Amino acid sequence: MPADPSAHGAHAARPEELSTAQAAAALPGTATAGRPAPQRLAQAALKDLPWEVGVAKPDPAIVVDGVTRVFGGLTAVSVDHLEIQRGGITGLIGPNGAGKTTLFNLMTGFDQPNTGTWSFDGKDLGKLAPHQVARLGVVRTFQLTKALSRLTVLQNMLLGAQGQRGEGFLRALVPGGWRAQEKENTEKAMDLLRRFKLDAKKDDFAGILSGGQRKLLEMARALMSDPKVVMLDEPMAGVNPALTQSLLGHVKDLREEGMTVIFVEHDMDVVRDISDWVVVMAAGKVIAEGPPESVSQNQAVVDAYLGAHHDAPLTVEEEDRVLAEVEAEIAREEQGPPRVPHANRSDEKDGLV
Amino acid sequence: MSELLDAFAIAGKAFFGFQAIFFALLAIGINVHFGYTGLLNFGQIAFAMLGGFGIAISVSMWGLPFWVGVLVGVAAAVVLALLLGLPTLRLRADYLSIVTIAAAEGLRLLFRSVSATPVTGGTRGLSAFNADFINLAPWDPAGRHQILGTSWSGGELWVALIGWLLVTVFSLLVWQLMRSPWGRVVKAIREDEDAVRALGKNVYAYKMQALVLGGVIGAFGGMVYAVATGSAIPDQYQNANTFLAYAALILGGAARVLGPVIGSMLLLFILQFADTGLRALIDNGIIPEALLSSTDVAQIRFVLVGLGLMLLLVFRPQGIFGDRREVMLDAR
């Protein structure tokens, strides 16, 4: 496996960050009722950055360079340069068809770009298949939830565990070789299920869960692999408000645990609430990035969402003027002497009404 | 009345006979493909044909020992699975089904063609390759044995014994695999490939392993058939057999270890009972000759099986062993 030696480098960076995150988290909890400190880490690091597209981050986990993806004549994604801060929550927003999901697909190996490269912790991800990307610690969820219907909730969870000995064909035949590991994984899965309040459903088929529970299950399943980067594609779509709050809490928890989170979302309140940094895409390009509060003031973002010519096509005055001109012309043709357009207009209008 | 009892006894022999073993092995293979992994293999009979002809050609044409023939058959099935899988398993499920159905028909036509006659015996096929195996029987292969009112030759009994042993071994293998993490991955692939990819599993490799495993089990089915009949004729391996095996699998219940086995036994029992039973009724004049002549029976019994399957799918879509809740999840 070519990825292995460099994977150690990634590991080396992580515990150190985890420990700082945990230390910071422990302090306010014991002393005063302060805000959770880990959020501060990413936020503080990003505070002084200029609000401009492609800005370099102090500690990027993912770096995207010159990625384009063309479907026929349509350029779905064309990102020159983008860095994602490690340990932070990055919101990816944009109108429908902006290329957010396509960018997700590219970054996780589900789609191949026409040009460009991107890397995670300095390792090139450009040529990897989806499962290889996942093994490096970059897991994703899907916009249309992919709960594995005819597997139980617990089986769904166990599937997420990495490095399972019993997943090899021959080793599967010797239960002694994987029983112990399976037991460990089951305990871990049950812990996660309790955290996501799905433990009572562990033996139910995933297919009978509600839409929101499926979203929870999908997120919990992704966490079984101990990911370093979690990419959530519209985690709150079609979820009721109460569950949205709990999902939000879970996403924030990921950050507390030192994971890097990238998520696509349409609800601006949610984005403002949890993101440390927001990247705005439109028509395949990154048109703005910055802290959440910067984005709503950005003219390019307003234009992208509302259309660049978001003034009304014709004002009342303009309409009146055009109408008057036309009528004047008609009048000229019908009668010899031209009349005063303005007076004519009000006459006609009275007559019509 | 005694004729009906006879019909029941004859059908009982079919219940345990080599044809039930043949279909059971085909269906166990299809169960691995379709039931567990979600691969639509519509050409399972091609694997069986390679199994049967693997032995036949090795022994009759190349003069190799019987057991080498078995290995040749298995190897041929593995190669076929790889050839079919390599280009199609990266694509959507339908491509595999198209390629397998074409391969099954194409291989049969190739084997019966004039140019292949020096190797495969053409339309007349090959024979006299099973003596080494039959002679291993611990009893006299030519002697008759009466079991529950049915008469078996020693050779038939020996083939049936080893055949059911194979069915047991492969059922245990499938059972063990499907309760392991390997089986969990494979079942997850059936539900949604992309979700499994996103969790770091090499979906392509798992699908290939499942395709090879199911194909090899099917090849053993073909070997049992060839050894039991003592001949390998390309036209015996019509692709209709694949669909009968599917019928058996659905009757028994897909994605259940015993589903394909019990399904095949019942299917053969029903076919045989309908055959002899209807003939007896016609001979006794209970069914008037004008309505149904004994020459129509061979066709009518398949109609009856079809009707039965329709009723089964309406009232018990999960088959005999299936879990209704599980099947109903698909309806969402």
Give the residue extent of every domain in chain B.
Answer: 2-331
In chain A, which residue's Cα lies nearest the Cα of B195?
Answer: A146
- The predicted structure's pLDDT at residue A330: 85
Per CB-CB distance under 8 Å, the chain B contacts of A175 are 176, 180
- Cβ(B167)–Cβ(B24) below 8 Å: yes
User: Which residues are registered as beta bridge partners of A63?
Assistant: A83, A119
CB contact, 8 Å: B183 with chain A? yes
pLDDT the model gives residue A73 = 86
Task: Enter the pTM of the model.
Answer: 0.84
Span B296-318, mean pLDDT? Answer: 86
A162: nearest CA partner in chain B: B200
Do the chains contact at A134 and B173, CB–CB below 8 Å?
no
| A134 at interface of B, judged by CB pairs closer than 8 A | yes
Of B180, B185, B197, the CB nearest to A175: B180
Residue A323 is predicted with a pLDDT of: 84
pLDDT band at A145 (very low <50, low <70, confident <90, very high): confident
**What is the Cα–Cα distance from B283 to B16, expressed in whole angstroms?**
26
Residue A11: its pLDDT value, please? 42
Among A108, A142, A159, A217, which would you mutate to test the B interface (most chain B Cβ atoms within 10 Å of its Cβ)?
A159
Report d(CA B105, CA B113) in Å as an integer: 12
User: Using CA atoms, how far apart are residues A107 and A233, in angstroms rounded to an integer?
Assistant: 12
Could you identify the residue written with the tokens 């659905």? Answer: B250
Contact A227, A139 (CB under 8 A): yes
- Residue A113 CA to residue A115 CA, distance in Å, equals 5
Among the residue ranges A233-242, B129-138, B270-279, the one predicted with the least confidence is A233-242
Of chain B, the end-to-end C-alpha distance in Å amounts to: 49
Would you call B182 and A169 a contact, using CB atoms and an 8 Å cutoff?
yes
Give me the CATH code for the B2-331 domain, please: 1.10.3470
Q: Which of B199, B201, B256 is the best residue to mutate to test the A interface, defined by the most A CB atoms within 10 Å of its own CB?
A: B199
Q: Identify the residue with better confidence: A303 or B273.
A: B273
Provide the β-strand partners of residue A140. A231
A151 touching chain B per CB within 8 A? yes
pLDDT of residue A308: 59
CATH class of A4-147+209-306: alpha beta
Distance CA A168, CA A170 (A): 6
Distance from CA of A140 to the nearest CA of B (A): 6
- The conformation of residue A85, written as its DSSP 8-state character, comes to E
ipTM of the complex: 0.86
Q: In the prediction, which pLDDT does A97 show?
A: 85
Chain A contact for B199, CB < 8 A?
yes
pLDDT, residue A311, reads: 53
Whether A255 contacts A87, CB under 8 Å: yes
Is the CB of A139 less than 8 angstroms away from the CB of B195? Answer: no
Quote the percentage of chain B above a pLDDT of 70. 99
Which pLDDT value is given to residue A307?
67
Nearest to B176 among A140, A164, A173 (CB): A173
Mean pLDDT for all residues in chain B: 91
Residue B130, both tokens: 């099973």
- Residue in A312, A244, A285, A230 with CA at minimum distance from that of residue A103: A285
Structure confidence by residue, pLDDT tens digits, B185-199:
999 999 999 999 999
CB contact under 8 A, B192 and A146: yes
- Among B53-57, B137-141, B185-189, the minimum mean pLDDT is found in B137-141
* Cβ contact, residue pair B194, A169, below 8 Å: no
Nearest CB to A146: which of B173, B177, B194? B194
Distance from CA of A326 to the nearest CA of B (A): 59
pLDDT value for A30: 38
More confident site: B58 or A239: B58
Asked if pLDDT for residue A1 goes beyond 60, the answer is no
Between B150 and A225, residue with greater pLDDT? A225
Mean pLDDT of the B123-136 span: 90
Is the CB of residue B191 less than 8 Å away from at least one CB of chain A?
A: yes
Distance CA B69, CA B91 (A): 34
DSSP A152: B
The residue extents of the domains of chain A are: 4-147+209-306, 316-352
Q: With a CB-CB cutoff of 8 Å, which residues 88-117 of chain A face chain B?
A: 108, 110
